[in-house]
Structure 1
Amino acid sequence: MPALHDFTTWEPLLTLLRAEYGGRAAAGTGHMTGSISSTGWRLKVLPRDEQFLARAAAPVQRALVEAGVREAMFAADVSRDGRTVLHVFGTSPAMESRSGLRIPSPGTLVLVEDAVAEPWRRRPEPVPGAVPAPSADPALLERTLRERLPDAVGATEEEIAAAEERLGVALPEELRALYRATRVSPVGPDGSGDWEADFAEQQAAESAVGCELGSLDSLFIADATLRPCPWRYAAVEAAVTPPDAAVQGLAGSPGWIAFGSNGGDHFAVDLTPGPGGHLGQVILIGHEENIGAELYGDSLTELVLNRFESGAPEGHAVRQARATVRIGERPDPADLVSSAHPDLEVVEILRRSGAPLSLAPVVGLPRLRTLTAHPGTLADPLEIAGLTGLEYLGIGPDEWRVLLDAGAVPKGLSAVSVEVRGDEHPLTVVDVANDLLALWDRPPIARTSIEGHLPHPGVSGS
């Protein structure tokens, strides 16, 4: 990648940034840092003239495309006489997306390949006493739909059996009754080839049922893979099901059979209800939520009879109240002493005023699996060694260095992050990240240093 690692490729951008950084960079007391991709950039100091910036960044963006590199983080140390050392950082297969993160963070590092956060591994709890709702009536459901769709072609028992074999689960009687009344041909290349007829059939089925009904062949299991979530966000979620909940608080379930939508969210028949639910109830899986689903109706029969008009998501209590704690928000009534209980899974310590916190109150908690702490908020980073159940840890580079030097990095971690304030030098952050990756024998973040010379700052920027 000679062009990407050629100082002249970066010179227009660095010259512009040096002028914008002003005295700090010119006097050699600061470093210029940011990241750039083929489609945009994130810079600590943003030049006022965006068109001028676009022209200056263009050579770097072309070099990224030529090298097949998605994004590069950089840092430049400029001395008073213009001598410059540019550090260009690559990526590692262990890095997740850095979208929205502070520079110079490398983002989440996945130490165990293909690992996912605990809520995405959570399986539904069995509810042996669960039965269909009194309103469930497959015969009435099928009769109603045949009356509303007298010309519809229903699925055969063989086609229903084939769908069950594909899904690996027996369809509940209500869902079987629905597709015996109308099989719903998929519109487009996979359908019958008669686009207008297929579309008309779908429109008729939607009117009869009350939601956008998928074809028998498009039924799918809404398990946790339906909601892929980066570790940084998944690790601070908690899959909690209150004792009276109608729906289990899961990322997904092998018992959620999705059959329709409202244009964005999925309707599913629930074969793994919560303690307060019914077998075969209809739930709404929100596309903006990572965990859980809402009860939409006790039965498919009930909803179809009313064309889904009376269905409305059941409000739910705050499921994560005891499982997660965020310290440092305003107002900040939370503290570790009052929050320490056996159900606690996630501790987030945000930027805060006051003395650094001791982790002693949460040492030994059986379910604690995630800790994130803004740099400088921990009194003694070595207390982390007592949190033996951690699978995700996000702390500052100084705190990581304490653990690394002491050989006290928790062995059970699956993913980590190096939290930054924004003033850290990328070299420091990447060195810590690479030391962590080395402990798990993961590919390091590549780093190349290039020397060059920048003209005296005097560029107007326009």
Structure 2
Amino acid sequence: MSTLHEFTTWEPLLHILRSAHTATPGTLGGHVAGRIGTHAYSVPMPWGTMFTMHGQASVAADRRPEFDAVQRVRGALAEADADGASFVARMSPDGPAVLHLLDFGPAVEAEVSGPLPGALVLVEGAVPEPWRRLPDPVPDAKPSPAADPAALESFLRERLPDAIGATEAELAEAEARLGIPLPDELKALYRVTRARWEDWNDDYEPAMRVAEAVGCQLLPLDELYIADAASGRSLWRFAALEAEAVDTRSDTAVQGLVGSPGWIVFGHWDGDRLAVDLTPGPGGHTGQVIVLVREESIGAGLIADSLTELVLPGRGRRSPRRRADDERPAVAHVNSRGVSSVEVAAHSALEVLSIGVWEGEPLSLEPVVDLPRLRTFRASPGTLADPLEISRLTGLEFLELCPQDWRVLLDADAVPRSLLAAGIEVRNDVDPLPVVDLANEILARWDRPLITRTTLEGSLGPMP
């Protein structure tokens, strides 16, 4: 047992929480819950949850006690080699306090914004379908006619006469590390400059000249990497529910993927990543330049048909182009202001169905039964006419429901066995302990590691 499981470690934070919540009627008779992590913490206060990222340069004086109390717990986390701990506290003005520490374990994704468990990963190592999607073969894809490695190299040597370029051995070493050949234009670029900071003697001026010549912040040759799906991992809930599902159509220049073994990231542009695309769509060119936008997890935008066009003046650099939305999108949000019904949402390409706030009669899922690609379903409380209809969605890999609907499925042993992950929809102000019990019941059905609870008891003394 580490100091993480000692009441004295948490005592300063509990004192602060008890004092902060004495003016909130009923709070101390109920619970106070939060989460402390190594990178961020979420602590409930009467005026709103205090959410702070790790690494603040300074802390306001009136928050110093809270910060110090959190740092005390963080020290215990480091000692226990733990990423974080959720807590539920019940405290009395007279002194007695009970603290429940929750360790989500390897089968539950923690969300830093609150104490509740995130997605339950029911199959070890499972990732959502978009993260498993590989590029479609496009055997007829060719470099753009405008691609001109010789012209590109000549232009850059003129702009960067003093730059130190990569040797052929260094280029070969980069290819061996990446596991794929570098396209000719990319090799031409790095023959002029290998973009290593040590080559610039810690001087920003040469670095700025390279950035101005190339049109982006260039990565050093030995930091090139492949933007495959594994490099873009996301929490299950966001990946399964909120990611845009994208298909690759016959006229698409960039394939709709989370990542590709043919996307070689070579630079940054306004905080986004630039990559050479060796797995273009049917309407694209091998070696085209794409931008991977940091706010988006699926797909990329085309900004140039070649590196030559990107770098040389007047050769056609453009604003990122993304494919237009389909008339029948693969992601449908049925709610009072969105898609008007499950019937309207239903079509053969539907992948994600989410039912939100709904003011009408509860909805039937009959229209989406047997849809071949439906992989994710989420429903807000009270929106389903019959939760047991979910058992007929036999291709689901992610399901998120409120506790009441989960209870119906569990009692009837009707949870789809195709699930790879699951979510429980509740508000952050609910008592996490019943939610944990429900999560453990779901995890047990898949024989997955359970959330563990450690209960600590102590006294904070009477309120002053």
Q: Give the TM-score taking structure 2 as reference length.
A: 0.83
**What CA distance in whole angstroms lies between the structure 2 residues aligned with 1:53 and 1:160?**
52
Aligned to 1:244: 251
| CA distance in 2 between partners of 1:401 and 1:433 (Å) | 11
Report the CA distance shift for 1:40/1:154 in structure 2 as closer, same or farther (over 3 A). closer
Q: Contact conserved, 2:43 with 2:49, CA < 8 A, in 1? A: no
Partners of 2:21 and 2:45 within 8 A in 1 = no
Cα distance in 2 for partners of 1:216, 1:88 equals 46
| Corresponding position of 1:124 | 135
CA distance 1:442–1:91, change in 2 (3 Å): same
Q: Is the 8 A contact 2:253 2:282 kept in 1?
A: yes
Query: Alpha carbons of 1:388 and 1:214: their partners in 2 closer, same or farther (altered >3 Å)?
Result: same
Pick from 136, 155, 158 the counterpart of residue 144 of structure 1: 155
Matched, 1:174 2:185: yes
Shift of 1:64: 5.9
Deviation at 1:210, TM superposition (A): 2.7
User: Is it true that 1:162 corresponds to 2:173 in the alignment?
Assistant: yes
**Unaligned 5+ runs, structure 2:** 51-59
Greater CA radius of gyration, 1 or 2? 1
The code of the aligned residue for 2:180 comes to V
Contact 1:370 1:393 (C-alpha < 8 Å) held by counterparts:
yes
Q: What is aligned with 2:362?
A: 356
* 2:256 alignment partner, SS class: coil
Q: Which whole-Å CA distance do the structure 1 matches of 2:3 and 2:178 have between them?
A: 50
Q: Hey, what's the Cα distance between the residues in 2 that align with 1:57 and 1:187?
A: 37
Q: Distance in 2 between matches of 1:416 and 1:70?
A: 22
**Equivalent residue number for residue 57 of structure 2:** none
Who is 1:95 aligned against? 108
Match for residue 260 of structure 2 among 253, 260, 272: 253
> 1:84, CA displacement in angstroms?
6.7
Name 1:269's counterpart in structure 2: 276
- SS of equivalent to 1:383: helix
- C-alpha separation in 1, matches of 2:213 and 2:63: 56
Matching residue's letter, 2:296:
E
Q: Which digits, 9 at most, give the CA deviation of each residue in 1:86-110, with x for residues without a partner?
A: 5443332222131335x6x311122
Q: Deviations over 1:188-226 (max 9, x none)?
A: 4xxx5x6157x6554443333332223332222121233
Unpaired runs of 5+ residues, structure 1, are none
Q: Give the 5 Å matches for 1:77-92.
A: 86-92=99-105
Q: Partners in 2 of 1:155 and 1:348 — Cα distance?
A: 51
Q: Which is worse superposed, 204-213 or 239-248?
A: 204-213
Quote how far apart the aligned CAs of 1:339 are. Answer: 0.9
Question: How far apart, CA to CA, are the structure 1 residues paired with 2:94 and 2:274?
Answer: 65
RMSD, aligned CA: 3.4
CA distance in 2, matches of 1:76, 1:91: 17
Identify the match of residue 440 of structure 2 among 434, 438, 456.
434
The 3-state SS of whatever aligns with 1:20 is coil
- Asked if the contact 2:398/2:421 (under 8 Å) is kept, the reply is yes
When structure 1 is superposed on structure 2, of 49-58 and 257-266 the one drifting more is 49-58
Superposition deviation, residue 111 in structure 1 = 1.9
Corresponding residue number in structure 1 for 2:372 = 366
Residue of structure 2 in register with 1:306 after alignment: 313
Does residue 378 in structure 1 map to residue 384 in structure 2?
A: yes
- Within-5 A mapping of 1:276-295: 276-295=283-302
CA distance in 2, matches of 1:146, 1:57: 53
